[in-house]
Amino acid sequence: MASCVAVIGGGSWGTTVAHLVSQNTETKLWCRDPEVAASITKDHRNLHYFPSYGLRPEIEASTHLEEILAEAEIALVAIPSQSFRDVICQMKPYLKHATPVISLAKGLEQNSTCTMTQVISQELPKNPTGVLTGPNLAEEVLQGFATASVLAVEGDVDTQKLQSIFSTETFRVYTSTDVIGCELAGAFKNVLALAVGMTIGLGTGDNTLAAVITRGLAELARLGEAMGAKSETFSGLAGMGDLIATCFSTQSRNRFVGEQLGKGREVEDVISEMNNVAEGIMTAPVVAELAKQYEVETPISDQVAAVVGGEITPPDAFELLMLRDQRSET
């Protein structure tokens, strides 16, 4: 068991993971906001994200990276994808080379199209890396509802040791060697959740919802395979599992944003009212770019990117999808 785990990011998921792993080992949590750090350390609550949930008193929170990382044997990074590289660079001076750095984020960097483990490998080439992903709605994990997740790692890492720091009576962790597949599945599903939300906002019905989910997953699995992922990963917890949770839960940020867009609201107005980041907004144009690069047809994702980019409305995007040429399902 690790003697100290550092969780980087005091948002909803970072706070939840800190609460989770503190049941097994010493846990320190880095927060940007001094008020959030103080409320977690003194009141054992994240007053910004989870004011009504009591956190484990063992969690130590701070705004100082050096303090959080000084004794860390494992670093878990829960930072939004577009800020991820900047924080990783800030961590460099304080990390030991042998410390595994595990991404808890689900997104792709816009400028580079990199996954988060690719960002880690570029900036911290001597540190092992990996990703924890799956159908993990933060509030349900905090409530202690039974949850399953998948941990994919690469490099010289004690997988069993990592697995053990997350595992509790209500949080079950499976392992995988398909790091790229797990990351792509987690990032891609946020784009599809936007599409699902749009269909709900448009009031198109359950048949449409089922069609969008199944056809959307098929196109994203094709893109993932073209990029080196295993097809079965998209049928597992990182793919289908996460997709089900994100598309059907009212707690889903990306589904919420899509639903609001389907009702005719503007992206900027919806985002301005949210505390958390909806990663699908930033990931959609990256998926469209990757699809062109790898020459894979992703019609649903393309239309989501067009809607998010203000090029088309959800009703027009829906019509264009329905008017596409007929084809075989496979």
Amino acid, res. 149 = S
Kind and range of the H or E run holding 67: helix 65-69
Question: pTM of the entire structure?
Answer: 0.93
The active-site residue out of 42, 106, 189, 292 is 189
Yes or no: say if 262 and 200 are a contact pair by the CB < 8 Å rule: yes
Query: Tokens representing 289?
Result: 């770019």
- What is the pLDDT, as a whole number, of residue 155? 76
**Whether the Cβ atoms of residue 10 and residue 40 lie closer than 8 Å to each other:** yes
Backbone torsion region of residue 203, taken as left when φ is above 0, otherwise alpha when ψ lies between -120 and 50, otherwise beta: left
- Domain positions in the chain: 5-177, 186-322
Catalytic (active site) residue 42: no
Identify the CATH number of the domain defined by range 5-177: 3.40.50.720
Give the pLDDT of residue 38.
Answer: 95
Which positions ≥6 away from 314 have C-beta within 8 Å? 198, 201, 202, 261, 262, 264, 307
- pLDDT, residue 2, reads 55
186-322 maps to which CATH number?
Answer: 1.10.1040.10
- Tens of pLDDT along the chain (330 residues)? 557 999 999 999 999 999 999 999 999 999 999 999 999 999 999 999 999 999 999 999 999 999 999 999 999 999 999 999 999 999 999 999 889 999 999 999 999 999 999 999 999 999 999 999 999 999 999 999 999 999 999 877 889 999 999 999 999 999 999 999 999 999 999 999 999 999 999 999 999 999 999 999 999 999 999 999 999 999 999 999 999 999 999 888 999 999 999 999 999 999 888 877 788 899 999 999 999 999 999 999 999 999 999 999 999 999 999 888 888 887
